[in-house]
Structure 1
Amino acid sequence: MDIFSTQADLIYDINLLVQSVLVALLVLGWINNKPYKTHGTIMTTATLIQIITVVTIMIPSLVLNFGALIPFEGKTGQIITILHNNVGTIAVILGCMLSFKFLSALRNTEPLLCGVKHTMYATLSLWLLSFLGGFGFYLYYYP
């Protein structure tokens, strides 16, 4: 069964849908940055869902197909995969850091000013770039 591509397994189609919803959540969280509690809850939820998809879908796929990256020959698919992986990893790490700051402030009843705006904008930008890379990955491997 397929949703978008006859070549992709259903799990990858579902993952693409989930990633699209997460991008919508991120944009919603960015637009609705006040009250801070709502903003932080939206962003933390998106980060948690992203971690789940990375651990259950993306890492297993990378491990199963790791042989396609070695030896590195500069092929388009290799470049897309490596860039998507690296940018996505940085985005998730930054998202986790901001989420932990938010949850810590919430738990300790501290002001909910959890990050420098530049860090938040960088995280959002990297996440969107990673999404585009993942979309490119999908189009490249499942035309």
Structure 2
Amino acid sequence: MVELNKEILEIVNKPGRIGTLGTADKQGQPNVAYFGSPQLSEEGKIVMGLGNNKSLENLEENPFAVFFVADESPVTFTTPGYRLYLKTREIQKEGPIIDGVKKAISEVAGPDAANMIVAGVVFDVTDIRPLVAMG
């Protein structure tokens, strides 16, 4: 398990925060997309909702991803933030995970946004690096 500190949890779980999720299919073709739903637990697990999109397609083929999250904008070389390296633990299209994700998204972004979610995805955080790593 990776070591999480209070700052990482606060930045990832900050209300209104948007991050980018990088995925790749089984051939290595990349995709990057904005997401606001990921929630990080103290145990190093991220849960997020996905619609019918390239990110979900890629995760069904390749379990590895990276979540890039910054604490402020514009992003510069001194902006606080992290790159969280992830491995998919579970993709749930029915059950308590997707139900919880849809409920949370509905409360924040409304029922139309929640209705677009087709999967609740659980990731394990395998590594954490700062946004900028010099050397």
TM-score between the two structures when normalised by the length of structure 2: 0.24
Q: Which has the higher strand share?
A: 2
Larger radius of gyration: 1
TM-score between the two structures when normalised by the length of structure 1: 0.23
Q: Which has the higher helix share?
A: 1
